[in-house]
Amino acid sequence: MITQSPTLGPAEQTFYIIDFDSTFTKVEALDVLGEISLIGRPDRNDVLDQIKAITDRGMSGEIGLADSLALRLKLLNAHRDHLPALIETLMGKISDSFQRNQAFITENADHIYVVSSGFQEFIVPIVTSLGVKESHVFANTFTYDETGNIVGCDLENPLASDGGKVKLMRNLNLDGDVYVIGDGYTDYEIREAGLANKFYAFTENVARIKVMEKADHITPSLDEFLFDNKLSRSQSYPKSRIKVLLLENVHPIAVQLFEQEGFNVEIHKGALDEDELIEAIRDVSILGIRSKTMVTRRVLENANKLMTIGAFCIGTNQIDLSTCTERGIAVFNAPYSNTRSVVELAIGEIIMLIRGIVPKSNSMHRGEWDKSAKNSYEVRGKKLGLVGYGNIGTQLSVVAEALGMEVYFYDAVDKLALGNARKCKSLDELLAIADIISLHTDGRKENKNLISYREFGLMKNGVIFLNLSRGHIVDIPALVDAIERGKVIGAGIDVFPQEPKTNSEEFISTLRNLPNVILTPHIGGSTEEAQANIGQFVPGKLLEYINNGSTYGSVNFPELQLPLLKDSHRLLHIHTNVPGILARMNNIFASYEINIQGQYLKTNEQIGYVITDIAKEYADAVVSELRVIDNTIKFRLLY
Ligand SMILES: NC(=O)c1ccc[n+]([C@@H]2O[C@H](COP(=O)([O-])OP(=O)(O)OC[C@H]3O[C@@H](n4cnc5c(N)ncnc54)[C@H](O)[C@@H]3O)[C@@H](O)[C@H]2O)c1
Ligand SMILES: O=C(O)[C@H](O)COP(=O)(O)O
């Protein structure tokens, strides 16, 4: 049997009635016109608020349309010359789901009508740009005075009066099924009058409770409408049905990027503990966290829909990566975006600590003037010892050399020395040489208490010590002891074995109130620049994986950078890495005479990832058979 292509044509004589303001476009056009026509008026903001309030009251059915139009036109004080700027603005405000589903509009142009209480003058150029027929646009027209001021609208037009859409639809007398898509009460009125089979409340831009209550179906985007009606669409599965959970205050850019794609996004300011996360993650497909949220095996066992995790930071030690892989969940992070921020903080702290600025500043705040050079040094010529020479360690090495420091490093793997930095053969060698020691290793479990009593014992007396990597790498009682004994005369600590989950929890630590110790709340990577970079970077990776299957940059999946999907269906098969799976898949393809257009396979120790692009027409059974191959972990279809 050949599958019906998901790009079905319209049912015989089904008509689609689409509203314009806040549906076809993201905004109310008269609000935008006000922003243009009222430029220079001192009361502009007040008038704009009044216009918006009238629009909302009209849309939720509190006042009649004729009144709403008349009131707004009067306040607008607009002129014919304002229209080109309005049209230009609206062109950039077409709703995202309409933009990505232009094919639906062009393929169904004979059956699509735009019915609006807005105005032809700006609606026609916008909707025809996506393929709506000009003759299928029904809206009001402005009237002007002799100098071009907009003074009202053509009152002969049924759309200028209360119940206008109903009157218009009666006149149109469409012979077939009618589906209305809109955000306003007047759109629902068509259904109420018995002139439509279904009313879809469109909530991509604005969700009006009074309207949603009346709807046959709430459609958070055009994709959902198209999916519900099995119509030609750009998304194989509506993204509004896919839940994204973003924790720990990730940058708003990330939220915006997911919302733009039409996902159902939920955000939380802080981290969640294990039980809270188990509760929150049940319906989640995409999870975004930072360094604090522990994604444990128990959490993952309750995350049956989870496809991917984005760590909006560098470290991924908070995630049980092995269980993620076992369950076919791809994990991504941002390995570079905040490295510079950490380096700048480390340099700043080294200078502050070696000059004893913190106690001096504290004394000044108590009114004490203690001008002295005692125990205050330049960094020039001092030996900086870096433990871990990865992305941060190497950058710090270069910047420190520029300040005239001598750099030594020790890394668990053999690393190329940058500039004049010198490689140490062992951690012990480095600890004994350095005047300043800064930790930059990753947070793998084996690094727990990497620096403890023995290691502090190997250090020079009066060393400066920094940890901006991970809290568990330093044995805190040993550090406190070293500070109290004067072994360490200055410390900068940004990360702790136990950190508060949110800003409202108290920070409890034996490091509090020790002399010449800078304590910071894990903010090495918390700069506007770094967070904005991460907010762009990680969603980019997650979206490439969701939309295209690419795993380039994943920290636990075999990495595959895939071509964009074109004129084919993409089958993504994740399985336990055992012999023979590819052969089984290809046997299925061969038995159904499938034309394979591209195939990609990559494995790691735990899993195999096979991507097969095939021609669009194929038997349903192919998909069902692929899903049940032994050792299949996850299967997904993209088109
Ligand atoms: N404070 C913050 O806000 C902040 C911000 C960003 C990164 N970080 C943390 O900083 C650390 C470094 O980040 P990165 O991007 O440079 O990581 P990276 O993975 O690029 O480098 C880590 C390096 O440490 C080495 N290493 C691991 N264990 C070691 C050991 N026992 N001895 C010696 N070398 C060892 C690795 O071989 C690697 O070269 C990570 O722990 C990261 O999570 C903290
Ligand atoms: O791993 C990191 O990048 C740092 O620890 C920063 O983490 P954060 O985003 O939670 O501040």
If you average pLDDT over residues 385-394, what whole number do you get?
Answer: 98
CA of 340 to the centre of ligand 2 (A): 13
CA of 396 to the centre of ligand 1 (A): 12
Give the number of whichever ligand sits closest to the CA of residue 336.
Answer: 1
Give the number of whichever ligand sits closest to the CA of residue 392.
Answer: 1
For residue 552, being part of any structural domain is answered with no
Do 31 and 153 lie in a common domain? yes
pLDDT band of 358, cuts 50, 70, 90: very high
Tell me, what's the pLDDT at 61?
A: 76
CATH number at residue 487: 3.40.50.720
pLDDT band of 199, cuts 50, 70, 90: very high
Boundary residue ending a domain (303, 332, 361): 332
Do 209 and 247 lie in a common domain? no
Boundary residue ending a domain (201, 228, 255): 228
For residue 541, being part of any structural domain is answered with no
Query: pLDDT tens for residues 508-562?
Result: 999 999 999 999 999 999 999 999 999 999 999 999 999 999 999 999 999 999 9
Query: Is 522 among the catalytic positions?
Result: yes
Do 164 and 270 lie in a common domain? no
> pTM for this structure?
0.82
Q: How far apart are CA 271 and CA 374, in angstroms?
A: 44
Q: Which atom of ligand 1 is nearest to the CA of 468?
A: 1
Question: In what order do the strands lie in the sheet containing 330-332?
Answer: 264-267, 243-246, 284-289, 308-311, 330-332
Does the pLDDT of residue 172 top 90, yes or no? Answer: yes
Does the pLDDT of residue 4 top 60, yes or no? Answer: no
Task: Determine which one of 470, 569, 570, 573 is catalytic.
Answer: 470
CA of 413 to the centre of ligand 1 (A): 12
CATH number at residue 604: 3.30.70.260
469 lines ligand 1 (CB under 6 A): yes
Do 119 and 200 lie in a common domain? yes
Query: What are the percentages of helix, strand and coil residues in the chain, rounded to 5?
Result: 40, 20, 40
Do 322 and 371 lie in a common domain? no
pLDDT band of 12, cuts 50, 70, 90: low
Which two three-digit tokens encode residue 429? 């060698």
For residue 547, being part of any structural domain is answered with no
Does the pLDDT of residue 11 top 80, yes or no? Answer: no
CA of 111 to the centre of ligand 2 (A): 52
337 lines ligand 1 (CB under 6 A): no
User: Which residue range(s) make up the domain with 405?
Assistant: 339-526
Tell me, what's the pLDDT at 1?
A: 30
Check if the beta carbon of residue 128 is closer than 8 Å to that of residue 139. no
Do 468 and 579 lie in a common domain? no
Do 512 and 595 lie in a common domain? no
Q: Which atom of ligand 1 is nearest to the CA of 526?
A: 3
Do 498 and 378 lie in a common domain? yes
CATH number at residue 142: 3.40.50.1000
Which two three-digit tokens encode residue 79? 């002129």
CA of 490 to the centre of ligand 2 (A): 23
Query: Is 100 among the catalytic positions?
Result: no
Do 102 and 205 lie in a common domain? yes
Of 83, 136, 90, whose CA–CA distance to 109 is shortest? 136
For residue 235, being part of any structural domain is answered with no
CA of 336 to the centre of ligand 2 (A): 11
Give the number of whichever ligand sits closest to the CA of residue 290.
Answer: 2
How many CA within 13 A on the CB side of residue 465? 31
Tell me, what's the pLDDT at 5?
A: 35
* Ligand 2 binding pocket, CB closer than 6 Å: 290-292, 312-315, 338, 522, 525-526
Does the pLDDT of residue 569 top 50, yes or no? Answer: yes
pLDDT band of 619, cuts 50, 70, 90: confident
Positive/negative CA dihedral, 122, 125, 129, 132:
positive
Task: Determine which one of 499, 544, 584, 636 is catalytic.
Answer: 499
Question: To test the ligand 2 pocket, which listed residue (470, 522, 533) has its Cβ within 8 A of the most ligand atoms?
Answer: 522
Number of domains observed in the structure of the chain:
4
For residue 553, being part of any structural domain is answered with no
Do 418 and 300 lie in a common domain? no
Task: Determine which one of 111, 340, 440, 522 is catalytic.
Answer: 522
Q: How far apart are CA 345 and CA 492, in angstroms?
A: 10
Query: What is the identity of the amino acid at 535?
Result: G
User: Which value does ipTM take for this structure?
Assistant: 0.99
Three-state SS for 596-638 is: EEEEEEEECCCEEEEEEEECCCCCHHHHHHHHCCCCEEEEEEE
472 lines ligand 1 (CB under 6 A): no
Do 346 and 212 lie in a common domain? no
pLDDT band of 193, cuts 50, 70, 90: very high
Does the pLDDT of residue 455 top 80, yes or no? Answer: yes
Catalogue the E-assigned strands of 234-349.
243-246, 264-267, 284-289, 308-311, 330-332
Query: pLDDT tens for residues 315-340?
Result: 999 999 999 999 999 999 999 999 99
Give the number of whichever ligand sits closest to the CA of residue 410.
Answer: 1
Boundary residue ending a domain (332, 358, 374): 332
For residue 358, being part of any structural domain is answered with yes
For residue 490, being part of any structural domain is answered with yes
Do 517 and 609 lie in a common domain? no
For residue 629, being part of any structural domain is answered with yes
If you average pLDDT over residues 441-450, what whole number do you get?
Answer: 97
Does the pLDDT of residue 234 top 90, yes or no? Answer: no
Query: Is 301 among the catalytic positions?
Result: no
